[in-house]
Amino acid sequence: MGKSIALFGTSADPPTIGHQKILEELSKIYPFTIGYVSNNPNKNHKEDISIRSHLLKTLIEDLDNPKILFNQGVTSKWAVESIKKCKRIYKLNNLDFVIGSDLIQDIFSWKNFEKIIKEVSFFIILREGYPVESNTLKMLETYNVKFKISSIKIPNISSSKFRLNFNYSNLPPSLIDFVKKNNLYESTKLVE
């Protein structure tokens, strides 16, 4: 396979219209985008991975785009493992690992960082309030990290903002009923 495909792993707690927009835009750039949910070892998740993966799967099915695939089989809390699984399942070499600009500085401390940067190119999605700083760019260049900075514009919404304000218009319509019926994130409302 010549052209790269996108690997979009997310902790999505819950998936928002921002995640939806990213998936839609990736499908315009890549022949395929593979989405999955993981447990980020640096985050405390409000809902179990089974709930979050059900929500992302529902979102992807609702998009009904043959270029966007959901495959929870590639999940791992370690990016290096997800990358290996994806390459093995789809028998490919060209893989762009999609990451938000809010997390790009974290990659330098990821498990097996040296292996990861040999396996993938990073596709950085800019998030409002999280520019890619010049020192981060210098580090990326110092470590010979292959990367592209996306021009995709996404809504300024995050899972954590949703959990704080419960503005259901920030969720994809296909997820609202499930979140409400199952009282998801309700404990967050009481605590935060």
Q: How far apart are CA 57 and CA 69, in angstroms?
A: 9
The closest alpha carbon to 80, from 108, 103, 105, 113, belongs to 113
- What φ, ψ does residue 173 adopt, rounded to 5°? -55, -35
pLDDT in tens, 92-145: 889 999 999 999 999 999 999 999 999 999 999 999 999 999 999 999 999 999
**CATH 3.40.50.1820 given to domain 5-191:** no
H helices of the chain, in order, are: 17-29, 49-63, 79-90, 113-119, 134-142, 159-165, 173-181, 186-191
Write the burial class of residue 151 (CB in 10 Å: 0-12 exposed, 13-18 middle, 19+ buried). Answer: exposed
Considering only CA atoms, which of 73, 102, 51, 105 is closest in space to residue 7? Answer: 73
pLDDT digit string (tens) for 139-192? Answer: 999 999 999 999 999 999 999 999 998 899 999 999 999 999 999 987 654 443
**171: burial class by Cβ within 10 Å (0-12, 13-18, 19+)?**
buried
What is the distance between the alpha carbons of residues 98 and 121, in angstroms, rounded to a whole number?
9
